[in-house]
Amino acid sequence: MRIRRTGARVVATALATIALAACENGDGRGSPLSTSTTPTVATSGPAAAVDCPMPEIGQGDADSVLTPGPSNGLPLSTARAEALTIEAVVLDAACAPAQGASVNIWHTDSRGVYGPGGADECCYYQGTVSTDRSGRFRLETIRPGQYPQAGAPPAHIHLEIRHTSGGLDTEIVFTANAVPPDSIRPSEVAPVFLSSVNGAKGRTWYGEAAFVLEP
């Protein structure tokens, strides 16, 4: 799959995110603390207007973990980077888990560059994963950088989500707001709060996100 880095755009119509709260224990390590609630199925209202209750994020199955890497024959990026893990869940327009949804993800390296040069050279970080029976997936990657140009948008991660019930094209951006919303509402981007925690591979940035598909 060849992606033009200069032509990406957001076409999201039904999206929201969840923030992560972190607590500090005696040894100073941050532990993720979910503040989400159990999702319920909406029974009325047009799909685009539905506010889905905030789902429980949790950890997905092992087969629903994506570690993106170079695509289109590109080499590995040589830029030093910080590790990033995002746990996410995908819901259909009725607020039910979207099992088996295909999630295609791509983003820049820590310098804000998609590839070694040229608009068609993408990407240092790209990959596709399917959601598990609970609609969950996990992204294990690096924290991308902002484009190295004046007036560039914030650092972000592109997502193309496809399912038998619908789809969504959107972006994850990063926010300093640690207060999770009560429900998932239509939005063009997903502002994800990141916390620095100790993981299996050492210190990493951690965040959580939820997405609702457009039918």
Task: Mention every residue, 6+ apart, whose C-beta is less than 8 A from residue 27.
Answer: none
With beta carbons less than 8 A apart as the criterion, state whether 207 and 91 touch.
no
CA distances from 198 to 32, 67, 81, 188 (A): 10, 18, 16, 31
Position 198: which residue type?
N
Tokens of 51: 């506010």
Please, what are the domains in the chain?
15-42+49-212 (2.60.130.10)
DSSP secondary structure string for all residues of 58-126: ----GGGEE--B--TTPPPP-----EEEEEEEEE-TTS-B-TT-EEEEEE--TTS-SSSSSTT---SEE
Structure tokens at 15: 């999206």
Give the model's pLDDT for residue 33: 29
Q: Write the pLDDT tens digit of every residue in 124-148.
A: 999 999 999 999 999 999 999 999 9
Helix (H, G, I), strand (E, B) or coil at 48: helix
Token representation of residue 130: 């399917």
pLDDT tens profile 18-38 = 333 232 233 332 333 233 333
At 78 the pLDDT is 94
- pLDDT string in tens for the chain (215-residue length): 444 333 332 323 223 333 332 322 333 323 332 333 333 333 333 444 467 888 888 888 999 999 999 999 999 999 999 999 999 999 998 899 999 999 999 999 999 999 998 656 899 999 999 999 999 999 999 999 999 999 999 999 999 999 999 999 999 999 888 776 777 755 678 889 999 998 777 899 999 999 999 88
The pLDDT of residue 53? 86
Q: Which two tokens stand for residue 170?
A: 């959107």
